Structure 1
Amino acid sequence: MDELENDLDDEPHLLIHSRHFKTPTDPDTGNYLPSGAERAVPWVAIAPVVNAIRVLERLVPAGGLLFGASVHNRTHPNTRTGSLIVDTIRTRIEDFVNWANAEADAHDLPGEVIPPDPHGKIGLGRFRRSLAWHIARRPGALVALAIQYGHMRTVLNTDESGRYGSRSRSGIHQLVDVETALATSDAAADLAERFEAGEGISGPAARRALLQATTGPMFQGSLVERDFPVKHTLARRHLARDGSVLHDNPRASCSACSGATEPPCQEDGRLSEPILDRCVPNSGNIVRTDRQAFALRERAQQLEIGADHVPGPPADRGLAAAQQFRDQADEHDRTRFTIEDITA
C-alpha cells in the first residue's frame, strides 16, 4: 500500500494495489488469465479501511485471499478454496451487528446501537446500493470512491468500467441510474414543498422547474430485487425527459433543470444529464431557492474569515470567490418570486 497525499485534510489517503480475476486477458493472445491481473487503477482508502486490511493480512497466509474460505469458514477448514460465499458474508454481517449491539449495551451506550433495519437483513447488494446512493446524491464529494470503482458517470464509457458494470443485470451503473432518478424526484418534491410554504425561487429555469415539480410525473417506489429490471427501465425513461428533470447540487448551492439544449457543464455532450461537479452559475438551466442563497452567503463568510489567516495570493482568491458567492445570492434576491407573486 502506497501513501497518497491528501490536500483536503491532514489525514493521508492510501493507495491499495490489488488483482482482479473476472475479466483479465493476455494482451498478446487474448486468452483469459486465471492468475488475474493487477487493476489499472488502485483503490483509494482511508485509515479504518487500511487498518482492517492489515488485520486480515495477519490472519491469512502470505499471498492468500483476505477473505479466503479456508481460513474464515471454520465449518470446513482447509477444504474450501476461493473466497467466502455471499451467504456466509451475510451471516457475518448479522453477527457483527449483534456483537456491536451487545458491546453498546454492556458499556451503556444506547446511541451506538445499530437499529433493526425495516427492509430486512443487510447483504452485499445493500452495500452496492449505498455506494450508488453516494455517487448519485453527493456530487464531487466522493471522487476517490467513484474512481476506485470505475463507475463515475464520466468514465462509464471506458472499456474497463463498461465491462465491470455489465457483469450482472444489476450492475452498479444501473443502481446509480435508479438512485439518480429517485434523487431528482426528491429534489422536485422539495422544491414544490418549499415554494408552497412561501420560499422564493429564482433562476432562468425556475418557472420550468416549478411547473414540472408541481404537475410532472415523479419517479417513486422502493427498490426490491424482483422488480429491479422494470425499475431501471423506468429510471432511464425518467432521466431522459428533456427539460424537466431537476438535479439538486448542495455543494454549488443551486439546482439544475435539464434543458432543451446541451448544458454548458457538459464539455463532450455524451451524457443526458448535467455533470454536477461542473455547475456553471450563469447557465440557463440554473434554479436557486432562498435556502441555497443563504448557503452561498454562509460560504462567502467562511471564505472571508479564512482569508484573514492565509498569505496574500490565497487570501485574494478566497475573497474573490466569496464575492462571487455574494453576487449570486444578491442576484437571487433581485429576481426571486414567491407563490404570493404568482397568485396575487
Structure 2
Amino acid sequence: MHMRPGTGTLKLTTFRRRIDAFVHWANTEADRCGLTGETIPPDPLGNIGTARFRRSLAWHIARRPNGLVALAIQYGHLRTAISGAYASRGRGGIHELIDIETVRAVADTVADVHDDLQAGRGVSGPAARRAIKASATAPRFAGTVITATTAKRLLVNEDAIIYDNPHALLLCHYKRGTALCHRDGVKDAPSLDHCVPGCGNIVRTDRHAIQLRERANALDRAASHVPQPVGTRLRANADRLRAHADTHDRTRITLPEDAP
C-alpha cells in the first residue's frame, strides 16, 4: 500500500490554516459574548504564524492560575539533564519559549514581593529572609532582555528565582539542597505540584494569609452540605489552613523602616 510522505503529521500550511480558523472562532466568540477586549488583534506582519502562536501559548501557560504548576508537570523535564534533544523532536523550540516565559513569570513574582515589602507588608516561612534578599533583584529583572540564553542562566540562579504556587498558596524560593518535593533525586526546578509542608523553601506573604482564610471559609461552607465523614475532613483542612495563616501573622517579618 502506498503511503503519502508526511502522513500522520501536520504540515506548516495546514497548521497555519488551523491557526487562522482558531483566530476566527475566538474572535467570533468574543464578539458574541461582548468581550471585545479579548479579541486577537491582527498581526502587523501578516497572518499569525507558528512562531507567534508558540510564544502566545507559552505566555498564557506561564500566567494562567497554577500556570507554573502546569509548566512543572508538562515541561519541567525539558530543563533537566536529559538534554534538549527530546524537546527538539516535534516541539519546534517550545522548550526555549517555556524557559523564557517561566523567567518572565518569575520576574513578575519577584517584583510583586519587592512591591509588597516596600509597601510595609510582611513575609514568613523558612525562606523568608532569602526572599527579602532576592526581592532586591526586581529592578535588575525589570531591565533585563530575556532571551533563551538569559533564561537558562537565570533559572539556575537560586538566589534570584522565586516561583509562585497559587494552588498551595505559597511562594517557593527554590534551593535544591533543601527541597522536599523531589523524591527521586535533586533537580534544577521545583515540582510545584508536590509542595511539602515544612519545606525549607517555603515563603508566604500577607496576601497568602488572607487567601488561606478565604479558602478555609469556603471549605467550612462546603462541609455543611456533605455527609459527616467528608465534612469532618473538610473542616480539618480548613483548620490547617487557618493555622498556616496564624503562623504567618505571628512570624512575619518586614523591611526595616530605613531600608532603601
What secondary structure is seen at the aligned counterpart in 1 of 2:203?
Answer: strand
* Residue of structure 1 equivalent to 2:187: 271
Q: Deviations over 1:208-262 (max 9, x none)?
A: 1111211474276667xxxxxxx21221110111343101111111101022614
Letter in structure 2 aligned against 1:218: F
Deviations 1:34-84 (A, max 9, x none): 789xxxxxxxxxxxxxxxxxxxxxxxxxxx97xxxxxxxxxxxxxxxx855
Aligned residue number for residue 12 of structure 2: 85
What is the match of residue 215 of structure 2?
299
Task: Name 2:163's counterpart in structure 1.
Answer: 247
| Residue 263 of structure 1: how far off its partner (Å) | 0.5
- Go from structure 1 to structure 2 and tell me whether the alpha carbon gap of 1:238 and 1:308 turns closer, same or farther (over 3 Å shift): same
Is 2:68 aligned against 1:152?
no
Give the % identical residues. Answer: 44
Give the conservation status (yes or no) of the 8 Å contact 2:154–2:160: no
Q: Which moved more, 1:204-213 or 1:186-195?
A: 204-213
Query: How large is the RMSD of aligned CA atoms in angstroms?
Result: 3.9
String of CA shifts for 1:167-225, please: whole Å, max 9, x gaps: 379522222222211111111111001111122211121121111211474276667xx
Counterpart contact for 1:195–1:338, Cα < 8 Å:
yes
The separation in 2 between residues aligned to 1:279 and 1:170, in whole angstroms, is: 31
Distance in 2 between residues matched to 1:221 and 1:168, nearest whole Å? 30
- Of 78, 85, 105, 1:183 maps to 105
TM-score (norm 1): 0.60
Secondary structure at 2:141's aligned position in 1? coil
User: Shift of residue 137 of structure 1?
Assistant: 4.5
The answer to whether the 8 A contact 1:256-1:286 is kept is yes
Q: d(CA) in 1 for partners of 2:127 and 2:72?
A: 29
Q: Equivalent residue of 2:222, what SS?
A: helix
Cα offset, 1:135, TM superposition: 4.5
2:58 counterpart of 1:132: yes
1:218 equivalent to 2:144? Answer: no
Cα distance in 2 for partners of 1:291, 1:140 equals 16
SS of alignment partner, residue 281 of structure 1:
coil
Question: Does the CA contact (< 8 Å) of 1:139 and 1:277 recur in 2?
Answer: no
Q: Counterpart of 2:115 in structure 1: which amino acid?
A: E
Of structures 1 and 2, the one scoring higher in RCO (CA 8 A, sep 6+) is 2
Q: Choose which of 36, 40, 44 in structure 2 pairs with 1:111.
A: 36
For 2:15 and 2:92, the matched residues in 1 are separated by 19
Question: What amino acid does structure 2 have at the position aligned with 1:294?
Answer: I
Residue 309 of structure 1 and its aligned partner are, at CA, apart by 0.8
Partner of 1:123: 49
1:269/1:35 Cα in 2 relative to 1: closer, same or farther (>3 Å)?
Answer: farther
The structure 1 residue matched to 2:125, chosen from 203, 222, 235, is: 203
CA distance in 1, matches of 2:66, 2:153: 25
Confirm whether residue 256 of structure 1 aligns to residue 172 of structure 2: yes
Distance, in Å, in 1 between the alignment partners of 2:68 and 2:108 is 20
Secondary structure at the counterpart of residue 198 of structure 1: coil
Displacement after TM superposition at 1:95 (Å): 7.0
**Would you tell me which structure has more helix in proportion to its own residues?**
2
Between the two proteins, the alignment pairs up a number of residues equal to 254
Equivalent pair of 1:182/1:220 in contact (CA under 8 Å) = no
Change (3 A) 1:90 1:280: same
TM-score w.r.t. length of structure 2: 0.77
C-alpha distance in 2 between matches for 1:172 and 1:156: 12
CA contact (8 A) 1:191 1:213 kept: yes
Query: Does the 8 Å contact 1:245/1:258 carry over to 2?
Result: yes
Matched, 1:333 2:249: yes
Q: Rg larger in 1 or in 2?
A: 1
- Which runs of 5 or more residues in structure 1 are unaligned? 1-33, 37-63, 66-81, 224-230
CA distance in 1, matches of 2:44, 2:72: 26
CA distance in 2, matches of 1:83, 1:169: 12
1: distance between equivalents of 2:247 and 2:107? Answer: 26
Is 1:237 the counterpart of 2:237? The answer is no
CA distance, structure 2, for counterparts of residue 181 and residue 174 of structure 1: 11
Distance change >3 Å, CA 104–CA 181, structure 1 → 2: closer
**Residue 162 of structure 1, CA deviation:** 6.6
